[in-house]
Structure formats: C-alpha cells, structure tokens
Amino acid sequence: MQKIQIKNLTWIDINDPNQSDIDYLKSLNFYPAVLNELKYPTLRPKVEQYDDYLYMVLHFPIYHPREKTSKSVEIDFLITKYALVTVRYGKNQPLQEFWNKCKNNETEPHFQNTSASLLYYMLQELNNFSLRQIDHITKKIDVLEKKVFGTRDPKEEEKLVEEISIIRRDILDFRRTIKPQDTILDSLKVRGSEFFGHLTIPYFSDIIGDHMRVWELLENHKETIESLQQANDSLLSHKTNRIMKLITLFAVIVFPLTLLASLFGMNSQHTPIIGTNNDFWMIIGLMMIATIFMVIIFKRKKWL
C-alpha cells in the first residue's frame, strides 16, 4: 500500500490487496460488502454511489508483446470528496507512472479542491496511455498494407493471413475491454456531478471525450483491417482462380491426347497406322497437331 497526501487530498494506492489492506479500508468507513469485492478482480465495470463515496470499477487494455494481444487490467476506485483509493491487480504501468509523477511533485496542480480533479487527471493519463497502446496496431496495419498490395511472395502469403488474424484478435480484445465502459462513464458523469457538484460536469464530459477518441480510433482500425483482409482474400482468390484455370486448360488439352493414345493402344487386328513405317512418329505428329489446334482455339477465346 502506498500513500500520497498533498494539501487536503489523499491518494491511497493498493496493489493486490490482502486482508490487512481490507482491514485498513474498513477503518475508513467503507462498507464491508464493497470491500469484499476488492479481494478479487471483477469481470464487469460499474459505478455505484453511496452516501459518502463512489465505488467504480474500470478496465484498461495493456498490450503483451509475447502473446501479441491486449489484455484487460482492472482498477477499482473508492472516491470520497477528499480521498481517492485505487486498487489494482498486478502491474499497471500507466498508473505507476502517474504515481511517480505525483510522488515527485510534478503534478501538484492535479491536487485541487476535491478528489474529482485527481480522478480526472488520472483517467486522462490512463486514456492517453490507451491511445499510445493503439500505436502498435497503427504501425502493424501500415506494414501489413504494404505487404498486401506490394510484391507478393508465395512463401509469405500464408504468414500474411496469420498476421491479419493476429491484428484482428488484438483489436477485438481491445474493443471488448473498452466498449462496456461507455455507459459507466456516462453514469460517472451523472453521479459524479451529484456527488461533487455541477461544476465538475465539464471534467467528466472531458473524460468521456477522451474515451470516445480511443473508441473511434479502434473503429477506424477495425474497418481498415477488415478491408485489408477482404483485399487479401480477393487477391488470393484471384490467384487461385488463375491456377485452377491453367490446371483445367491443361486437363482439357491432355484428355484428347490420352484418348488418342488409348485408341491406338487397343489390342485390335486392324488399328489404323499401327504397323506401318514410322507409325510412332505419325501418332506423335497427330498429338502435336491436336495440341496446337486446341492452343489456337484457347488463344482466340482469350482463355490463355
């Protein structure tokens, strides 16, 4: 448990709460039912208003390079008028960075009249971190676009399909974390203004605006990766069709030749040409003539 106090405001940060942390919060007159929820991560975001404080659960995506996707990281908030308690589970880089700034007195203006100002700057920092997290998706999409419409190496095509799927999964996980918080932040705006006063409405509106910036950027990436997937599928389909076309034309050419060879291979007493001088070369000549004739027809039909 960490604690910072500047002016009349207090920020308490708890990482992976244990029973002693829960007992300490109980001494601050938080309801036992709420404190029991802090023992384990909560799957759904929410905001609840009590007489003397607000209880809020939010999730933020953190990118994991090894697994190549974004995972949801939870932060619980206990918000009184002059104190803010954050409870997190595991490492949380943006919150720790903001804590270090506050500890080094780099963000003293954030500690103003009520904890609403501290909450505002904290959520702003977390949303800005989410925007930075999306940068890796932007860079991957830019590289992917060049690969899709650039020189296509047959050996890289299968890998290209895998890369598209990985990026789509990352966007999906990011969206799944962000989307449920639309209504939560709207509720925070209503309940926060009731709790802190109407002067805080612009702060909470700004938080919603930052959240929408993240969401709209994700929507743009979602549409882009879907378009790239469709373009890649079309190019692969076109290539497959060309291959199938060539295979079909080859089969059409070979079939009459095979039939001709089978006819001359029949064990009959009066097979034409068979038994005459140069019969082998005559049969080969017939096959060549048939092949050239079919190639000319395919050329005129523009099938080749």
Q: What is the pLDDT of residues 101-157, one digit of tens each?
A: 877 765 555 456 778 888 888 898 888 888 888 888 889 899 888 888 876 677 777
Quote the domain boundaries for residue 264: 245-300
The answer on 260 and 206 residing in a single domain is no
Listed in sequence order, the residues at least 6 apart from 70 whose beta carbon sits closer than 8 Å to its beta carbon are 61, 62, 63, 64, 133, 170, 173, 174, 177
Output phi, psi for 254, to 5 deg: -75, -30
pLDDT band at 220 (very low <50, low <70, confident <90, very high): very high
Tokens of 269: 């007493």
Listed in sequence order, the residues at least 6 apart from 273 whose beta carbon sits closer than 8 Å to its beta carbon are 264, 279, 282, 283
pLDDT band at 304 (very low <50, low <70, confident <90, very high): low
Output phi, psi for 212, to 5 deg: -70, -35
End of a domain among 210, 238, 266? 238
Residue entry with tokens 């002067």:
199
Looking at 26-40, 73-87, 137-151, 262-276, which range is the least confident one? 262-276
CA–CA separation, 128 and 211 (whole Å): 9
Name the residue with higher pLDDT: 90 or 83: 83
Q: Which three-class secondary structure state does DSSP give residue 55?
A: strand
CA–CA separation, 52 and 120 (whole Å): 19
Q: Which of 145-154, 155-164, 222-231, 243-252 has the highest mean pLDDT?
A: 222-231
13 alpha carbon, distance to own chain's centre: 30
Name the residue with higher pLDDT: 270 or 213: 213
End of a domain among 212, 238, 264? 238
Domain count, the chain: 2
Looking at residue 267, which CATH number applies to its domain? 1.20.58
Average pLDDT, the chain: 83
Query: For residue range 263-297, what is the model confidence (pLDDT) as tens digits?
Result: 777 766 667 777 677 777 787 887 888 888 878 87
Bridge partners of 79?
54, 84
The answer on 228 and 113 residing in a single domain is yes
In terms of Cβ atoms closer than 10 Å to its own Cβ (0-12, 13-18, 19+), residue 81 is: middle
pTM of the full structure: 0.74
pLDDT band at 78 (very low <50, low <70, confident <90, very high): very high
